[in-house]
Structure 1
């Protein structure tokens, strides 16, 4: 089998099963383990798979920059946002992550809501200006332009004084094996710090994020209260349920 044919097979297997185990594919095709690993390296370099120990997982399309992500799965994000907004109780202190789904949550909040929102996203803070009853606290730090959020040591230190009822967490991948992932190490650290200072953490996961993975781990699935998603039933969602994840269907 030609290398191009092997790579096509690997991508087909990934779409079908949601994961590729390099040793299993090598045994099936009668080729060396190193040959399959080389194929996976090339696919990862092309941005087509996310390599993990022993194989690969589907790559998340949500790792594009902020401007590009605004046009990805817009209807899906609106559905997730509407369901997530229902979790925000009047009078609550809510940490709202950055990202395009979180921005949609702002639009879904009642205009007469009285609450406090803590965010490390200037974009989210500006959008909340349309909610006069919401007190907005912005966490400062280095601006990570890819996602339009602050992160880094100063931002993590600023989280120390936060005591929130709820954290609405944005990630780029939700996978039963890989857990919750994102595309930047510092951003992952900031998300962990925010989750540590909230009573409940719910994940905002539009359909394209379910069953996908990114390079940097944010949290394991059992560290959050659940996942808000509009993803259709299928193997990736079934695997989350089997892992004990609580789902809020949007």
Structure 2
């Protein structure tokens, strides 16, 4: 593994877990602790992580490294399956419209939509659309735009413009990070603009995010906590975070 590949793997692991020790990184990547410390110093100089005693934590922004959809689909699968199942309870009545954001958990969610529950589904996510195309109980609308290779989601001015004309019953959102101080965040500017438009298109906003996203702040904010009605997450959320989110007006549901 080249140094750049190893450093990217380190940054992604730290971003996913929140805090990782030098020993854990060395074992995970089969390198010496001295190599890990040199790599962490390089990552800190790039502004991607922050060194702490014995290890590292994510920096306040993770703008450079963004895991792809295939990587995310393999992470925290049990939690994502449980979150997706819990989100079904927040569907509006049959005949309603929902907007579904791109994400590995939202893709799981649409796969569970009940066959006797007719819906209009609007999405910018190719994987979401692929799961719904041709289903008789779903009226599917795929938004225009340039499809990002990282997320397989359409973004750009055409996507945002199309969303601005919608008034859906519920928007189901994914996020790279959610914090009590900075709200919902993602690393990419165009992705953030699209997510912001998705949040604005729904009368209610339901966020599907496993607990590894809580406390993470990526570089671009797309929604404040005041714009979120419900957060569905897993039991890994701390009591302090759950209390703080609830105090901000967010209904926290543990799947």
Shorter-chain TM-score tier? 0.7 to 0.9
Q: Give 1:68's aligned residue.
A: 71
Match of 1:225 in 2: 229
TM-score normalised over the length of structure 2? 0.74
Residue number among 82, 86, 99 corresponding to 1:83 in the alignment: 86
Which residue of 2 is the match for residue 192 of structure 1? 196
SS at match of 1:222: helix
Contact residue 192 and residue 218 of structure 1 kept, 8 A: yes
Please say if residues 111 and 130 of structure 1, whose CA atoms lie closer than 8 Å, have aligned partners that are also in contact.
Answer: no
Structure 1 residues 242 and 160, CA gap change in structure 2 (3 angstroms)? closer
Q: Which runs of 5+ in 2 are unaligned?
A: 1-13, 21-40, 51-56
Question: Counterpart of 1:174?
Answer: 178
Aligned residues: 210
> Of 40, 45, 50, which residue of structure 2 is paired with 1:42?
45
Could you give the per-residue CA deviations for residues 103-161 of structure 1, whole angstroms, max 9, x where no partner exists?
01012211232110000112111101363201000101011121111011111111132
In structure 1, what is the equivalent of residue 160 of structure 2? 156
Structure 1 contact 50–215 (Cα < 8 Å) conserved:
no
1:96 corresponds to 2:130: no
Unaligned runs of 5+ in 1: 1-10, 17-37, 53-58
For residue 51 of structure 1, give the secondary structure of its aligned residue in structure 2.
coil
Q: Is the 8 A contact 1:210 1:237 kept in 2?
A: no
For residue 104 of structure 1, give the secondary structure of its aligned residue in structure 2. Answer: helix
Q: 1:236 to 1:185 in 2, by over 3 A?
A: same
SS of residue matched to 1:102: helix
Given the superposition, is the C-alpha separation of residues 129 and 182 from structure 1 closer, same or farther in structure 2, using an over 3 Å criterion? Answer: same
User: Which of 243, 247, 250 does residue 242 from structure 1 map onto?
Assistant: 247
TM-score, normalising length from structure 1? Answer: 0.76
The within-5 A match list for 1:10-29 is: 15=19
